[in-house]
Amino acid sequence: MIMSNVGDGYGSQYHLRWWVNGNQSSLNAHIENAYRTLDLPFIDSIHWVSPMESDGFRELGGMEYFSETGRSDVVNAWTGFWPQSGRPQMWDGWAVVRFKDGTEEILVVEAKANSSEFETPGTGSKGRSRVNILRSLDEAKAFLDVPIDAVWYETYYQFCNRLTALYFLNEQVEVPSRLLMIYFIGDQFPDGRDCPQSQDAWGSLISKMHQAIKLPRDHRYSARVLDVFPIVTLER
């Protein structure tokens, strides 16, 4: 787990913590609206695991959630799928969606509030770890019908490794899961960095990323990546 520094009134970490702990019903409404476009049972509840104020705003790394819930099979499979040396993938948030028919699925969460954090740098892994990462990225690309020459280990690497983790969960260990991308609208940083002020502005960045990583418009996980766009000015 990692508990990192957070901006005072700005930044994706600050806003996600505020919405999860101070305005969760509104955030859940955004999520439920996204789910309404899918052919799924009605949602009964959304249980947030992280980042919770009662737990020190702890962020989960890798498949840590499954260590805590007794799913050693998932943890063991992940150990073979993704390198365990170095810094693990850190999830901005984690939630469990429970449906009225008794089924449930995982929501792994990434939050963004400015353009620079959207265009993440590439992997810094070396040696055997890098070989294993590239192998797993290529496996996910093949599943999603992404051309083999698409570069997933440089710019936009974070999003690509999140897609790869999503592939692992759904296909390798058969844990129904979705990636929730939270794009905050209207943030303001003290250093004046660019923060999208509309859903269209975020949409342009998202389209640029999809083109760069050669992700097909209607890929196999189109319904497993959910985008929501909360407005941060509603916090004030």
**Span 13-29, pLDDT tens digits:** 999 999 999 999 999 99
154, part of any domain: yes
Can you tell me whether residue 177 is helix, strand or coil?
A: strand
pLDDT at 138 exceeding the cut of 70: yes
Show the tokens assigned to 50.
Answer: 């992280």
Residue with tokens 């943030």: 187
Q: Flag whether 3 is in a domain.
A: no
- Is 38 contained in some domain? yes
In a domain, 143, yes or no: yes
Is the confidence at residue 117, as pLDDT, over 80?
Answer: yes
CA geometry: angle at 199 spanning 16 and 225, to 5°?
A: 65
pLDDT 10s digits, 170-193: 999 999 999 999 999 999 999 889
Whether residue 7 lies inside any domain: the answer is no
In a domain, residue 168? The reply is yes
Structural domain contains residue 86: yes
pLDDT value at 30 more than 90:
yes
Write out pLDDT tens, residues 222-235: 999 999 999 997 65
Q: Which domain does 79 fall in, by range?
A: 12-187+197-235
The count of structural domains within the chain is 1
Q: Is residue 151 packed enough to be buried (19+ CB in 10 Å), middle (13-18) or exposed (0-12)?
A: middle
Q: What is the mean pLDDT of residues 75-104?
A: 94
Share of the chain above pLDDT 90, in %: 85
Residue 1 belongs to a domain: no
Q: What percentage of the chain exceeds 70 in pLDDT?
A: 96
Q: Which residue has the higher pLDDT, 15 or 125?
A: 15
pLDDT score recorded for residue 234: 60
Task: Among 94-98, 135-139, 152-156, 229-233, name the one with the lowest average pLDDT.
Answer: 229-233
pLDDT band at residue 8 under the 50/70/90 scheme: confident
How many C-beta neighbours within 10 Å does residue 178 have? 24
- The pLDDT of residue 95 is 98
Taking alpha carbons only, the member of 232, 236, 235 closest to residue 113 is 232
What is the value of pTM for the model shown?
Answer: 0.93
Classified as helix, coil or strand, 107 is strand
